[in-house]
Amino acid sequence: MTPTPPLLVIAGATATGKTGLAIRVAGHLIDEGIPTEIISADSRQVYRGLDIGTAKATVEERKGIPHHGLDLVDPDAPFSLADFVDHATRALAGVGTRGGLAILVGGTGLYLRAVARGIDTTALPADPALRTRLEQELATEGLDLLVARLLELAPGRAARVDTHNPRRVVRALEIAELEGDAPPPRPRGYDGPVAWIGLTLDRATHRAWIATRARAQFDAGLIDEAKALRERYDPALPAFSAIGYREAWSVLDARRSRDEAIEEDARRNAAFAKRQGTWFRAEPDVEWLDAAGSPEETALATARRLLESRLA
């Protein structure tokens, strides 16, 4: 039986430094001879070519640290929660055979929860034909009408869904049409030592970090990245709901100035961070750390405790 590795979860809203912290912790442990691998839990970083706009760690930043969860499919390929769990499960099995530590890091709360708390994705019904119809309705009728239908059909499920996320709304409606407003499957737990830490910031500092990152992404070539993607793929694809691409396209189409696009990017990310905060506050047993302080020391101590508990 493949051993389940200790798992350190690093959660938090966008632009709180989660990726950088995970890389620093992994680097320290690898330097100490402890095999450590990172699994990205970001529903947009799974797409190839969406690099700058999703704040994906660069090849140079990842150097020497095995990474999973990145560049799994093209932007026009379907990718579900179950697909992510399958990928993460295989990655964890590999880490386990190597006797290492896994770091699951990202801001997609459902991805984190599904892996680290053991949500049984096979317990959720699926109907590809129904999902295709709902995606077509999304394109023709718009998100607001689908959200209204979800609220009417399954208010309980709607309350647990990010109704600003088209893909989440479509999936929730698919489940609701198949089984009504049934509660989600109970978590089965993670079959190994696990600890959650979360990064948080005061509101003013967080807004400043978000604004700084938005400008840095545009400075790094986000407009060129968005242009190249639009030339190859349908801009209406769910992958491009990642904040930044539509703002970059608005500059290309002369609908906004570059500065206006950066401001809109920051505004949307601030609103997104607020929704993420609501989600993560509902997660139990998270040790919250000030991202502007020194979270690395605590994260390393937590990782070492996990490794010790495996040996106990």
* Sign of the dihedral defined by the CA atoms of residues 233, 234, 235, 241, in that order: negative
Q: Assign 2 a pLDDT band (cuts: 50, 70, 90).
A: low
Same domain, 17 and 86: yes
Contacts of 256 by beta carbon, 8 Å cutoff, 6+ apart: 247, 250, 264
d(CA 262, CA 284): 35
Report pLDDT for 229: 98
Q: Assign 185 a pLDDT band (cuts: 50, 70, 90).
A: confident
Same domain, 135 and 110: no
Same domain, 109 and 169: no
| 186 is a domain residue | no
3-state SS class at 96? helix
| 185 is a domain residue | no
Q: Assign 312 a pLDDT band (cuts: 50, 70, 90).
A: low
pLDDT at residue 156 is higher than 90? no
| 163 is a domain residue | yes
CATH number of the structural domain spanning residue 47: 3.40.50.300
Give the domain-ending residue among 134, 156, 179. Answer: 179
CATH number of the structural domain spanning residue 139: 1.10.20.140
pLDDT at residue 23 is higher than 90? yes
Report pLDDT for 178: 87
Same domain, 61 and 90: yes
Taking only the tens place, the pLDDT of each residue in 86-114 is 999 999 999 999 999 999 999 999 899 99
Q: Assign 34 a pLDDT band (cuts: 50, 70, 90).
A: very high
pLDDT at residue 220 is higher than 70? yes
Same domain, 100 and 212: yes
Q: Which domain holds residue 145?
A: 125-179
| 226 is a domain residue | yes
pLDDT at residue 254 is higher than 90? yes
Question: Is pTM beyond 0.75 here?
Answer: yes
Same domain, 94 and 243: yes
d(CA 225, CA 68): 22
Same domain, 204 and 145: no
Tokens of residue 10, six digits:
């690093």
DSSP of 249-309, one letter per residue?
Answer: HHHHTTSS-HHHHHHHHHHHHHHHHHHHHHHHHT-SSEEEEETTS-HHHHHHHHHHHHHHH
Same domain, 52 and 15: yes
pLDDT at residue 121 is higher than 80? no
Residue 67 is which amino acid?
H
Same domain, 247 and 300: yes
Same domain, 208 and 171: no
| 187 is a domain residue | no
Report pLDDT for 125: 80
- Residue 36: CB atoms within 10 A of its CB come to 26
Number of domains into which the chain is organized:
2
Q: To 10 degrees, what angle do helices 258-281 and 109-116 make? A: 30
Tokens of residue 235, six digits:
């801009």
Same domain, 110 and 197: yes
Give the domain-ending residue among 179, 214, 243. Answer: 179
Q: Which residue has the higher pLDDT, 272 or 2?
A: 272
Q: Assign 27 a pLDDT band (cuts: 50, 70, 90).
A: very high
